[in-house]
Amino acid sequence: QVQLVESGGGLVQPGGSLRLSCAASGFTLDYYAIGWFRQAPGKEREGVSCISSSDGSTYYADSVKGRFTISRDNAKNTVYLQMNSLKPEDTAVYYCAAALRAWAGWGSAEYDYWGQGTQVTVSS
């Protein structure tokens, strides 16, 4: 069964850190570009970060640049999103998605598989 499963979400105080994981099963992530997206209540889904399948190139939304780091461990078939200096406005459900191509951007149609999401809440 082809599946992406996110984990690592939770409740954290402002300024804290979380590391999200996106684990694939039923297929190998080696040839897939991976994107992290988030959706806050009442807002549209937005792209957070992407990582290529070929050379590890990364891209970040301006709102998270310098605070979030995306990485991949193909041996573990997992992609990570390290989130530091978290702010209340980072509160959202975070999703990972996989696209069978070298690079994918923020377009939902570019992605072949999506995870179910993990909740991140930043609050004191």
Q: For residue 109, what pLDDT is reported? A: 85
Q: For residue 106, what pLDDT is reported? A: 81
- Report pLDDT digits (tens) over 84-123: 999 999 999 999 999 998 888 888 889 999 999 999 999 9
Q: For residue 60, what pLDDT is reported? A: 97
| Angstrom distance (rounded) from CA 39 to CA 42 | 8
- Report pLDDT digits (tens) over 9-48: 999 999 999 999 999 999 999 999 999 999 999 999 999 9
Q: What is the CA radius of gyration of the chain?
A: 13
**37: nearest Cα among 15, 68, 10:** 68
- Report pLDDT digits (tens) over 48-96: 999 999 888 999 999 999 999 999 999 999 999 999 999 999 999 999 9
